[in-house]
Amino acid sequence: MIYTFFAFQRYCLGSKSDVSKVIAGMDWQELYSFASKQALLGLCFEGIERLGKEYPEELRLNPIGRELLMTWMGKAQQIRRQNMKVNAVASKLFSMLREDGLRCCILKGQGNALMYPNPYSRTPGDIDVWIDASRERIMEYAQKKYELGDDIRLQHLETSLDGVPVELHFFPCSMNNPIYHARLQKWFKRNADLQCSHIVGLPDGAGDIAIPTTAFNVVYQLTHLYHHFFDEGIGMRQIIDYFLVVNDFSKNVFLDYDFSNHPVPLSKEGSTFSPSPSSSGRALKKVPVFGKTN
């Protein structure tokens, strides 16, 4: 059954492969439970709506119960409304920080949602904003502007804006190895300016925010997954987010060989391919897959 679920996820993300057998073997109640646990109800409902148009006969043979369908539809609408709320607050927060002289960019959630077939189908969480300033300046600013909780961590502090949880990041993420952590922070600082100036528009005129470039995200969100793997656990939403990041990177970088907007090389021996800051569309800079042993 888990293979059936994964095959359906690919369909929900836009795959054109035939899913007739997937529909025939699907337990819709089990799929709902799986999607609920993995924060994928909105994405799965997008797929179900597609099925109604593309596979009506197969759905007739293995129908989704009316009560379950209505429940699912209600959850999808709730997720849509949550996204609209979070988008509005993210745009407001970004504007406030910029007006107060703080360069920043919104990490993960709202930017990742833009890569989904329907940006309102991704279940939103809190707003993570990376502020390109010293820890002391961020702390001083936050204490004046926001009501802070007691949980101030190494990489962020927690607050809220208009009822939406907000994390103000001193840096995007960390690594458990202190040497690699220090190297990663240097890389973040070197690439901060571009991330804070990469402005995109949110759906339906909700406003503008800065989000990381795709080339930055392939490294940053991989280290974020690393953190989740060791410290919190990884869900399918994080896996799908990263799949979409890598897919977008492959379309915009590997196929076009255009690095002019992605100056984000890894320092020293990295662990992946990375664009060269001086390449400007000429060639791919190869970095060894494995660096020195620890």
Per-residue pLDDT tens for 16-62?
Answer: 889 999 999 999 999 999 999 999 999 999 999 999 999 999 999 99
> What ranges make up the beta strands (E) of the chain?
104-107, 127-131, 156-161, 164-169, 199-201, 208-210
Cα–Cα nearest to 206, from 121, 97, 82, 123: 82
pLDDT computed for residue 281 by the predictor: 32
User: Residues 210, 200, 255, CA angle at the centre, nearest 5°?
Assistant: 105
The side-by-side arrangement of strands in the sheet containing 156-161 is: 104-107, 127-131, 164-169, 156-161
**Where do the domains of the chain lie?**
1-64, 82-294
pLDDT computed for residue 287 by the predictor: 31
**Higher-pLDDT residue of 199, 293:** 199
pLDDT computed for residue 168 by the predictor: 94
- Give the model confidence (pLDDT) of 168-224 as tens digits: 999 999 888 899 999 999 999 999 999 999 999 999 999 999 999 999 999 999 998
Determine phi and psi for 280, rounding to 5 degrees.
Answer: 50, 45
Q: Which of 7-16, 40-49, 142-151 has the lowest mean pLDDT?
A: 142-151
Cα–Cα nearest to 162, from 90, 57, 252, 54: 90
Counting other chains too, the contacts that 153-159 makes at CB distance below 8 Å and 24 or more residues apart are 156/128
Domain 82-294 class in CATH: alpha beta
In this prediction, residue 254 has a pLDDT band, given cuts at 50, 70 and 90, of low
Assigned token pair, 81: 């409304």
Tell me how far apart the terminal alpha carbons of the chain are, to the nearest angstrom. Answer: 40
Q: Count CA within 13 A, CB hemisphere, residue 3.
A: 4
Q: Which of 76-90, 117-131, 224-238 has the lowest mean pLDDT?
A: 224-238
Strands 104-107, 156-161: pairing is: unpaired
